[in-house]
Amino acid sequence: MEITKICCIGAGYVGGPTMAVIAQKCPQIQVTVVDLNTERILAWNDKNTENIPIYEPGLSEIVAEARGRNLFFSTDVEKAIDEAQIIFISVNTPTKTYGKGKGMAADLKYIELCARQIAKVAKGDKIVVEKSTLPVRTAEAIKSILDSTGNGVQFQILSNPEFLAEGTAVQDLLSPDRILIGGDYSVEGQKAIKALVDVYSNWVSPEKILTTNVWSSELSKLTANAFLAQRISSINAMSELCEKTGADVNEVARAIGMDSRIGSKFLKASVGFGGSCFQKDILNLVYIAKSYGLNEVADYWEQVIIMNDHQKRRFSNNIVQTLYNTVADKKITFLGWAFKKDTNDTRESAAIYVADDLINEHAKIAVFDPKVSRKKILSDLDYLETRTLEENEKSIFTSEDPYLSCEKAHAIAVLTEWDEFVHYDWQKIYDGMQKPAFVFDGRNILDKTKLEAIGFVYQAIGS
C-alpha cells in the first residue's frame, strides 16, 4: 500500500517534532497534526516559526521548511482521521490522579477517546499506530473499541514507541538508534508493518528498523525508560556515598563508564531526574507488575523512584543545613527551572520540588531560566497544592536578567545544566551577593577551582 496521507492526534512534545521530521523526509506524504488544544495549534501555525509552542534546537527550521507544503496543524480532528491511511496516536498518558491506580497507573482516558473518535469517523480501512507510551496490552483495548462499530472497516494496530529525548529531539529523530514497530503476525498485520517500515525507510537504514510482536514493543518502551532512569538513580545513590567517603562521583562514573559492559552514558549524578516520562513510566511498570502479583518485581523498580525523591530532598535539606539551619527570608537564586537543558519543558523538574521545600522553610526564591516563563513556574508550584497561589507569588521572583536574579542572594542553586551558566561572569555575580556566597551545583557543571578562587563556598553533588 502506498502511503500518501498520515494524521497524528496530539501536537505535543512527541507528535509535533516527530511529524515535522516525517514531513521533511517524506515530501510525497501529506502529514496533518491535530489537537483539541486550539491555542497550541495556533502557536504551531504562527507565522514566525520561532514562536512554535515547543522549543527544540533545529525544530523551527524544519517546521519552516515543511509547513504549508506537506505539514499541516489543525483542530479539525475528524477530517484528518477520515482522510488518513495511517493514524498516529500521540496524546498524553499521564499518571492517574484519581480512582483505582491513583498515583501509579497510566491514565488512558485520552487514548480511549482517540480510539472512539477513530471508530466513529473512519469509513475506510486504517492503520492505527500507538506512538504514545502505553501499558503492555493496551493494543488489545484499542482494538476492541475500534472493532465495536461493526461497520466492516478493518483496523490494524501497530505499536511504534518514540525514543526521542527532549532537547535533542530533532537529532534523535533524524538519526535514531532504532525504530521499533510491533504488529500482528497475520498477513494483514505484516502488511501494516511493511507500510510503516516503508515510511521510515525514507531516511532510516533497514538494519535500524526492528519489528516485533505488539506486546514486546509496548513493553520495550517502559523497559528502556526504566533502565535509563535506573542508571541515574544508581549513580545518584553512589553520589551520597562519595560525599561521605572523599570519593568523587565524576571520577567514579568515568572509571566505571570505561568498562564497555557498562558504558559511559547516563551516569551523570544530579539533583535528580525529571521530565514527563521516567517517573510516570516506572510507576506504571510498578503498577503493572503488582497487578500480576509480581511484588518483588514491583518493589525492585519502585526503588528507582524512591532514590530519586531522596536525591531531590537531600539537595534542599543540604541547602538549609549549610545556610546555618535557616533560610527564612533568605534569597536563594535558582539557575534553571527546566528539567534539562535545551527544552522549555518543566514537567517533573527537580527545581519544582526543591523550590517547594525551600518555600516551606520561608525562603525567597529568585528564578532565572532562559526558556521558562514566570507563569509556567507559578503554575508548576500551584499544581503541588502546597499553598495558595498568592503565597507562591510572594515567594517567587523572576527576572529576564540572570545577574539581577543573583543580586543580593545568599546562595545560588544550579538546577538545570544550561550551557550559558558556565560562561557567566562569576566574579560579577560574587561581588553582588551576600557573604559568605554559596553555590550549590545540582548539575556539577561549574568549575570548582575557579569559583573557590573567587571566594565562593562551592558544593557539588557527590564530591
Residues annotated within the binding site are 10-15, 35, 40, 91-95, 132-133, 162-166, 221-225, 261, 268-274, 277-280, 339-340, 347, 443
Task: Report, in angstroms and rounded to the nearest whole number, the Rg of the chain calculated over CA atoms.
Answer: 24
For cell 514507541, name the residue.
161
Number of residues that bind ligand NAD (CB under 6 A): 27
Interaction site with ligand UDX (CB under 6 A): 162-166, 225, 228, 232, 266-268, 270, 273-275, 277-278, 339-340
Q: Is 162 in the site for ligand NAD (CB under 6 A)?
A: yes
CA distance 278 to 301: 11
Catalytic residue among 26, 242, 277, 406: 277
Q: Are 132 and 92 in contact (CB under 8 A)?
A: yes
User: Using CB under 6 A, which of 6, 7, 8, 14 touches ligand NAD?
Assistant: 14
Residue 252 is inside which H or E element, if any?
A: helix 249-257
Task: Answer left, alpha or beta for residue 336, where phi above 0 means left and psi between -120 and 50 means alpha.
Answer: left
Picked from ligand NAD, ligand UDX, none, the partner binding residue 339 (CB below 5 to 8 A depending on kind) is: ligand UDX
Question: What's the closest the beta carbon of residue 32 comes to ligand UDX, in angstroms?
Answer: 23
Q: Is 133 in the site for ligand NAD (CB under 6 A)?
A: yes
Strand partners, 210: 180
Picked from ligand NAD, ligand UDX, none, the partner binding residue 12 (CB below 5 to 8 A depending on kind) is: ligand NAD
Stretch that binds ligand NAD, among 8-16, 242-250, 300-308, 450-458 (CB under 6 A): 8-16
Q: Is 9 in the site for ligand NAD (CB under 6 A)?
A: yes
Query: Residue 50 corresponds to which amino acid?
Result: E
Q: Is 209 in the site for ligand NAD (CB under 6 A)?
A: no
Residue 139 is inside which H or E element, if any?
A: helix 138-146
CA distance 77 to 35: 7
Site string for ligand NAD, 23-62 (x = CB under 6 A): -----------xxxx--x----------------------
**Could you tell me which residues are annotated as the binding site for NAD(+)?**
10-15, 35, 40, 91-95, 132-133, 166, 277-280, 347
For cell 461497520, name the residue.
151
Respond yes or no: is residue 277 known to be catalytic. Answer: yes
Picked from ligand UDX, ligand NAD, none, the partner binding residue 300 (CB below 5 to 8 A depending on kind) is: none
User: Using CB under 6 A, which of 90, 233, 279, 333 touches ligand NAD?
Assistant: 90
Residue 82 is inside which H or E element, if any?
A: helix 77-83
Q: How far is CA 144 from CA 84, 119, 158, 193, 199, in A?
A: 21, 10, 14, 20, 26
Nearest-5° angle of CA 207, CA 84, CA 37? 100
Of 230 and 276, the one with the shorter C-beta distance to ligand NAD is 276
Long-range contacts of 188-191 (CB under 8 A, 24+ apart): 188/154, 188/156, 189/156, 191/1, 191/156
Picked from ligand NAD, ligand UDX, none, the partner binding residue 270 (CB below 5 to 8 A depending on kind) is: ligand UDX
Site residues, ligand NAD (CB under 6 A): 9-15, 34-37, 40, 77, 90-93, 110, 113-114, 132-133, 162, 164, 166, 276-277
Among all residues, which ones are annotated catalytic? 277
